[in-house]
Amino acid sequence: MDLLNYQAKTPFTQKHLLTLQDWSEDEIYQCLSHALKLKAMQKSGQKQRCLSGKTLAMIFAKSSTRTRVSFEVGTSQLGGSALFLSTADIQLGRGEPISDTAQVLSRMVDGIMIRTFKQSDLEALAKYGSIPIINGLTDEFHPCQVLADLMTIYEKKGTLKGLKLAFVGDGNNMAHSLMIGCSKLGIDVAIASPDGYKPNPVYTAWSVANAEKHGSKVTVCTDPLEACKDADVLYTDVWASMGQEGETAVRQKAFAGYQINTDCLAVARKDCIFLHCLPAHRGEEVTAEVIDGPHSVIFDEAENRLHAQKGVMALLMGNGGF
Ligand code: CP
Ligand code: NVA
């Protein structure tokens, strides 16, 4: 499949990116295609102006390096500007209703990217506001990261459909969005998590149904090596996510052994790649040998956050074209 020259089957009509479950396979491909084109344009020094005169508000209730920088730099490369709004500083953090915040920002800016805890807060912004809302990570989902991941897998493997991705670790926001995104594109997904930390069964059911439609498989098991067997892509994430710092000690016990290491490489495909959304904890969810070794493509993946987020903004907020 030539994603760079992907021909859309239907016009892109999504207003928001709350979760990839809302987007069709065709819409995800359109976004990846935009991201690949914008990357090529940036690398060859071609100007992009599709956000000319537009402003993105970026609300952060949690820390960020990649998401903040990719959206801020991406907006500027597309001719627009971005505002960093920490909830520690804006009235939302002091209890101003999300509905009022949504309506006020809708009068002043052209889109909102938000990183927060509850998915329902994003849904409220979308309900009360009149501008695109982009999920920059919630406790439930991290769709922007998965778009960059799919782009990276495509660049490294030249295809998406028919591959197998194994995720070892917490059934968290990354596990949910990977299951959803991959299952929509016909990529097999195997998740290995300890009991008590499996992905939310509702999102697993969505993903199983997506996979059935696209001729692939989603499985959840307990054994990391079972998940990694014959995988083209190995993926992991931290044992304790942002907001779970108080559970660190309990989680370190629960996740012992849920690590991508050379045993996983030995059962995966010889040419497998290793991905991690970052930040990573070497020696916990992944060994230094793997994350810093020849299978790892984590910095290409991190760079693709920039291009993928530009693809999202071009589609949701752009003036058309690039
Ligand atoms: N992967 C990711 O979202 O990184 P940040 O937390 O640094 O934004
Ligand atoms: N699961 C992690 C992802 C960080 C990008 C977290 O939510 O902290």
CB 238 within 8 A of CB 211: no
One-letter-per-residue 3-state SS of the chain: CCCCCCCCCCCCCCCCECCHHHCCHHHHHHHHHHHHHHHHHHHCCCCCCCCCCCEEEEEECCCCCHHHHHHHHHHHHCCCEEEEEECCCCHHHHCCCHHHHHHHHHHHCCEEEEECCCHHHHHHHHHHCCCCEEECCCCCCCHHHHHHHHHHHHHHHCCCCCCEEEEECCCCHHHHHHHHHHHHCCCEEEEECCCCCCCCHHHHHHHHHHHHHHCCCEEEECCHHHHHCCCCEEEECCCCCCCCHHHHHHHHHHCCCCCECHHHHHHCCCCCEEEECCCCCECCCECHHHHCCCCECHHHHHHHHHHHHHHHHHHHHCCCCC
In this prediction, residue 320 carries a pLDDT of 81
Does residue 145 have an active-site annotation? yes
Ligand 2: residue of 68, 139, 167, 173 to mutate (most ligand atoms within 8 A of CB) is: 173
Catalytic residue among 30, 48, 77, 145: 145
319 band by pLDDT with thresholds 50, 70 and 90: confident
Phi, psi angles (nearest 5°) of residue 68: -60, -50
**Per-residue pLDDT tens for 186-209?**
999 999 999 999 999 999 999 999
Q: Where are the domains of the chain?
A: 3-141+305-316, 145-301
In this prediction, residue 103 carries a pLDDT of 98
Percent of the chain with pLDDT over 90: 99
Q: Which of 194, 201, 315, 188 is nearest to 257 (CA)?
A: 194
Per CATH, the number for 145-301 is 3.40.50.1370
Q: In whole numbers, what is the pLDDT of the chain averaged over residues?
A: 98
**Per-residue pLDDT tens for 143-163?**
999 999 999 999 999 999 999
Does residue 107 have an active-site annotation? no
Burial 201-237 (b: 16+ CB within 10 A, else e): eebbebbbebbeeeebebbbeeebeebbeebbbbbbb
175 band by pLDDT with thresholds 50, 70 and 90: very high
Answer yes or no: is the C-beta of 238 below 6 A from any ligand 2 atom. yes
**Residues with Cβ within 8 Å of residue 92, at least 6 apart in sequence:** 59, 98, 101
**Per-residue pLDDT tens for 206-233?**
999 999 999 999 999 999 999 999 999 9
Ligand 1: residue of 117, 138, 173, 277 to mutate (most ligand atoms within 8 A of CB) is: 277
Please give the distance, rounded to the nearest whole angstrom, from the Cα atom of residue 90 to the centre of ligand 2. 23
Span 165-175, average pLDDT: 98
Whether 3-141+305-316 and 145-301 share one fold: the answer is yes
CB 112 within 8 A of CB 131: yes
Span 57-81, average pLDDT: 98
Does residue 305 have an active-site annotation? yes
Catalytic residue among 142, 176, 251, 295: 142
In this prediction, residue 32 carries a pLDDT of 98
Catalytic residue among 16, 34, 68, 305: 305
Catalytic residue among 115, 251, 276, 295: 115
Span 15-22, average pLDDT: 98
**Per-residue pLDDT tens for 256-289?**
999 999 999 999 999 999 999 999 999 999 999 9
**Residues with Cβ within 8 Å of residue 4, at least 6 apart in sequence:** 33, 36, 37, 40
- Answer positive or negative: Cα dihedral of 121, 124, 126, 131: negative
Would the pLDDT of 321 be above 90?
Answer: no
Please give the distance, rounded to the nearest whole angstrom, from the Cα atom of residue 231 to the centre of ligand 1. 24
Q: Which of 64, 53, 32 is nearest to 135 (CA)?
A: 64
Choose the CATH number for 3-141+305-316 among 3.20.20.210, 3.40.50.720, 3.40.50.1370, 3.40.50.2000: 3.40.50.1370
Number of C-beta neighbours around residue 9 at 10 A: 11
Identity of the residue numbered 21: Q
In this prediction, residue 244 carries a pLDDT of 98
Token pair listed for 95: 């209890």
Please give the distance, rounded to the nearest whole angstrom, from the Cα atom of residue 65 to the centre of ligand 1. 5
Minimal-distance CA residue to ligand 1 atom 7? 65
Please give the distance, rounded to the nearest whole angstrom, from the Cα atom of residue 242 to the centre of ligand 2. 6
Does residue 295 have an active-site annotation? no
In this prediction, residue 58 carries a pLDDT of 98
Answer yes or no: is the C-beta of 241 below 6 A from any ligand 2 atom. yes
Looking at the CA of 301, name the nearest ligand.
Answer: 1
In this prediction, residue 146 carries a pLDDT of 99
Would the pLDDT of 84 be above 90?
Answer: yes
